Amino acid sequence: MTNNIVVLGAGVSGLTTAYLLSQDPSNKITVLAKHMPGDYDIEYASPWAGANYMPVGKEGSAHHKWELNTWPALKEIAEKYPEAGIHFRGTLIYNRKKDQETDTGKWFSELTQPNPWYKDVVPDFKSIPSDQLAPGVDNGQEFTSVCINTAVYLPWLVGQCLKNGAVFKRAVLKHIADAANAHHTGERADVVINCTGLSSKTLGGVVDDKMYPARGQIVVVRNDPGPMMSTSGTDDGEDEALYIMTRAAGGGTILGGSYQKHNWSGIPDMNLANRIMKRCIDICPSLVKEGQGIEGLDIIRHGVGLRPLREGGTRIEKDKVDGVAIVHNYGHGGFGYQASFGCAYSAVSLVKEILQNKSRAKL
């Protein structure tokens, strides 16, 4: 028996879900999306991400489980498939207790605590001795993580899906139920997977009021400082962030950032860009030549993306809209890559439940 499946959305959530589903030859998959890898748009979060694996899910939560379950997959891809654009990278994390109550501090509270659950997941985890910490830093840790070149990785995922027979089509849908009529075979889809990120706020049949953006601004440069690093906050503003990561395969270095909730602006703010560059050099002088300031940065581009946050957390659940079976997989905030496989495994098991009920009904 074949299963007709439509995945709506071609960001990291849609592509990872489609990739897993396409490994079963009985699934005939259509990926429908307004934006595809190669596009840069404020409605499309995935290309803007760093992206790296810096866990933020609270211990014992579903979010924790998704991040835990994602590490083995990213590790395996980094080890076996250099063409996917993921590499291992040393990582330094610095925590200041004074950031605890800020938006950025809360976002990173699990990442920056001295004894996090992920210490047993990522390789080489160790605390940085306090005499090696800069003044004002309360604790620090180092470990090995991955950095993903999204401009290589997203097309790699598309390639894996194509190899497994999935069909990609551009479409802009007004209503989630319309996706069921857009399967490439012309037949009706048995199940639609909603991976539309922030657009789930306005998509007909979903209209999720709990969705809101956390605006992230970045500067991409050619300079290569070595390890990745991140802090719990900055002195420049409660919703500003500091992180540095060099992407695999010549993807440049991402300097970040910000975590501006409910801010929808897609235009880079040059004052913020200057603050980002300045504080990255302050914490990591090796970004530029000795004695240089921001004039020593070789800028590729400025960028802005909107992290698709959801009050109450990511939505992975079954639904039925106008008679169409739906599985939602959206609302991944600032962790869409580092939770991508974990979330997709959960979504796929819900798809299987729907398909099993379909086969039972046909018996």
**Residue 32: CB minimum distance to ligand FAD, A:** 6
Q: Is 234 annotated as a binding residue?
A: no
Binding status of residue 218 toward ligand FAD by CB under 6 A: yes
Instruction: Write each residue from 145 to 184 as x if it is in contact with ligand FAD (CB under 6 A), else as -, in one continuous string.
Output: --------------------------xxx-----------
| 213 sits near ligand FAD (criterion: CB under 6 A) | no
Q: Is the peptide bond before 179 cis (omega within 30 degrees of 0)?
A: no
In single-letter form, the type of residue at position 59 comes to: E
Q: Number of residues in contact with ligand FAD, rule: CB under 6 A?
A: 42
Of the two residues 61 and 98, which places its CB atom closer to ligand FAD in the complex?
Answer: 61
Q: Does 194 bind ligand FAD (CB under 6 A)?
A: no
What are the angstrom distances between the C-alpha of 113 and each of 63, 253, 298, 333?
Answer: 17, 25, 33, 20
Q: CA-to-CA distance for 138 and 136, rounded, in angstroms?
A: 6
Helices (H) and strands (E) in the chain, counts: 7, 15
Name the minimum Å distance from CB 92 to ligand FAD.
Answer: 15
For position 50 contacting ligand FAD by CB under 6 A, the verdict is yes
- Write down the least CB distance from residue 135 to ligand FAD, Å: 28
Q: Which helix (H) or strand (E) is 325 found in, with range?
A: strand 324-330
**Among 203, 242, 272, 351, interactor with ligand FAD by CB under 6 A:** 203
Nearer to ligand FAD, 105 or 216 (CB): 216
Rg over CA atoms, the chain: 21
What is each CA distance from 203 to 63, 77, 214, 258, in whole angstroms?
24, 33, 19, 27
Query: 142 by DSSP, 3-state: which?
Result: strand
Pick out residues in 243-302 that bind ligand FAD (CB under 6 A): 257
Distances (CA, A) of 235 to 6, 275, 297: 46, 10, 22
Which range, of 39-47, 85-93, 97-105, 234-242, touches ligand FAD by CB under 6 A? 39-47
SS3 (DSSP) at 350: helix
To 5 degrees, how large is the angle CA 21–CA 32–CA 152? 75
Stretch that binds ligand FAD, among 27-35, 106-114, 310-318, 353-361 (CB under 6 A): 27-35
- Please report, as ranges, the residues that interact with ligand FAD according to CB under 6 A: 8-14, 32-35, 44-46, 48-52, 171-173, 195-199, 203, 216, 218, 257, 305, 307-308, 330, 332-338
